[in-house]
Structure 1
Amino acid sequence: MTETTPSATGQLTGNVLYYNQPEPLNPTTHKGMGVKRIDGPFSFAAKHNLVPLTVSEFQLAVLNGPIIFVGEEKTPLQVMGLNHDENIFVLPTGVFDAGVYVPAYVRRYPFVFANDSQAGQSILCVDRSAAFFAESNPELPFFDEKGEPTEYTQNCLKFCNDYEMERQKTQSFVQLLKALDLFESKESFYTPVNEDGTPGEPQKLADYFGVSEERLRALPAEKFMDLRQSGALNQIFAHLISLAQWDRLVALSMNRQMQLQNQAPQAANS
């Protein structure tokens, strides 16, 4: 069950990426508040290279970068940078580079569902620390004069509800892969080139879980057909294809680093 106006302020549980000050959204606390339009609305995403993905997004995000699975829960993540504190697809202006798919996890910010342990339900929260949170004179208020959610808030609530449904589908997808024993540990390496043109010492980029192509090929025909008919096979192929993006990610990271190095002298001389 989800609410926008909780009757009690229970204990919120769980830590969520990007959210520093989430609080239950209600017409009393947030009367006259809302959001404002700002330049660089995605600056909050610039300092994190891993972004959660839902399974329905795999085919949309395949060209961004590798889609990997991490942890005991095998959480699917989009790799958007090689350094843990840098998303190379977020420009210094605080917007995503042209042509980059922006994950739904990023687009739902500053809203999120949180568990209210006292009330035993999920409630809609908003991150008060968001740069575009407006304490007064918002361009898009959360509530109208009667204390009812505005169209903007209703749309955000629907988006969060849809996201929650996709998250549950993703959990089912992961459980299916687990049940078929398709996961295996994987490593990605980058081999730099020395000044004389010879290959350098390989450097590890990441350890993660991914689908084993060997185990996939070894599945009984009926199990393979089940994956195909359910649509899960398309998502598996999208994940496998995305792993070829490690080299592209390295190239983009090196290019980004060179641009920043070139900009540094210009800034010093200005």
Structure 2
Amino acid sequence: MTDTTAPTAEGQLAGTVLFYNRPEPLSADTHGSLGANPVEKPYAFVAQTHVVPLTVTEFAPAALSFPVVFLGDNKQPVAVMGLRQSENLYVDAAGDFKSDAYIPAYARRYPFVFANDEQQGRMILCIDRDAKFIVEGGQVPLFENGQPSAYVNQAMEFCNNFEQERQRTESFVKLLTDLDLFHTREAVFTPRDEQGNPGTPQKLADYFAVSEEKLKELPAEKLAELRDNGALGQIYAHLVSLLGWDRLIALAFARAAAMPTAANA
């Protein structure tokens, strides 16, 4: 992870949204015979990326598991789950998500997602038709008697809540940007030899973070405003999460150490 490029959080119906290969507007005519089958490892697909978008209300629970940083020109908040692209240290080779790690809502809503219908000025519920557990005659139907099933209605409610949180996150990022609180940071790892002597530092990532110095320099009334609207707590959760880079490094070493064992098994 060596740049500040953000994953696309939302997009048009062209497979541009992270995890979604073939999103289609959900309809009884097209998908009336489809259903969802139970999945033993429902979040195995997260293994394909090292960062997953977060909403601001997820900062605190996510901070217990990952660094929470901001990427790209739009300062998209993400959970950092790996040190290299396409390698997720929280999903093992068998597709199991670490049992004690937080699962972002962005992943939990899959295979459903909202897309903008600009002509109608509304949001359309879509489904990834390439989701392996969405099949003809699946155990949990998407439609019953031509109407959305309870499964789809629950998904609609979840996506509605997610959309509200996404908009709240955009407002949060705009607030921090307007207050000029962001600065660029580097995640650096210093290897040590067998005697404990430090080697050449290695840069792991560039990212945006809230500057503690800039935060301290804010007028008292601005700090009080951030406290009262809940933003200050989310900022501190983000800052505390940055201690998680050491956890990622430890996980990377553990995975590397286990690979020869797995190969010889």
Structure 2 residue matching 1:82: 3-state secondary structure: coil
Displacement, 1:95? 2.6
Tell me what 1:198 maps to. 197
Letter in 1 for 2:30: T
Displacement, 1:199? 0.8
Tell me what 2:213 maps to. 214
* CA deviation profile, 1:143-190 (whole Å, cap 9, x unmatched): 00x200001100000000000000000001001101111000111100
**Matched ranges for 1:1-270 at <5 A:** 12=13, 15-134=16-135, 136-144=136-144, 146-266=145-265
Instruction: Tell me if the contact between 2:65 and 2:102 (Cα under 8 Å) persists in the aligned partners.
Output: yes
Letter in 1 for 2:252: S
Instruction: Tell me if the contact between 2:188 and 2:204 (Cα under 8 Å) persists in the aligned partners.
Output: yes
TM-score for both structures, normalised by structure 2: 0.92
Structure 2 residue matching 1:65: 3-state secondary structure: coil
In structure 2, do the counterparts of structure 1 residues 106 and 48 end up closer, same or farther at CA, with 3 Å as the change threshold?
same
Instruction: Tell me if the contact between 1:14 and 1:114 (Cα under 8 Å) persists in the aligned partners.
Output: no
Runs of 4+ in 1 over 6 A off after TM superposition: none
Structure 1 residue matching 2:148: 3-state secondary structure: coil
Q: Distance in 2 between matches of 1:193 and 1:241?
A: 25
* CA deviation profile, 1:227-249 (whole Å, cap 9, x unmatched): 00111000000000000110111
Q: Distance in 2 between matches of 1:173 and 1:253?
A: 32
Structure 2 residue matching 1:28: 3-state secondary structure: helix
TM-score for both structures, normalised by structure 1: 0.91
Structure 1 residue matching 2:21: 3-state secondary structure: coil
In structure 2, do the counterparts of structure 1 residues 182 and 14 end up closer, same or farther at CA, with 3 Å as the change threshold?
farther
Identity %: 51
What runs of 5+ residues in structure 1 fail to find an aligned partner? Answer: 1-10
Q: Distance in 2 between matches of 1:142 and 1:158?
A: 15
Displacement, 1:127? 0.3
Q: Return 116-125 or 256-265, whichever deviates more.
A: 116-125
Aligned pairs, how many?
254
What runs of 5+ residues in structure 2 fail to find an aligned partner? Answer: 1-11
* CA deviation profile, 1:69-106 (whole Å, cap 9, x unmatched): 01111100000111111111112232311111100000
Tell me what 1:4 maps to. none
Letter in 2 for 1:222: E
Instruction: Tell me if the contact between 2:66 and 2:81 (Cα under 8 Å) persists in the aligned partners.
Output: yes
Q: Based on CA coordinates, which of the two structures has the bigger radius of gyration?
A: 1
Letter in 2 for 1:139: Q
Instruction: Tell me if the contact between 2:15 and 2:21 (Cα under 8 Å) persists in the aligned partners.
Output: no
Q: Distance in 1 between matches of 2:76 and 2:28?
A: 35
Q: Distance in 2 between matches of 1:139 and 1:229?
A: 47
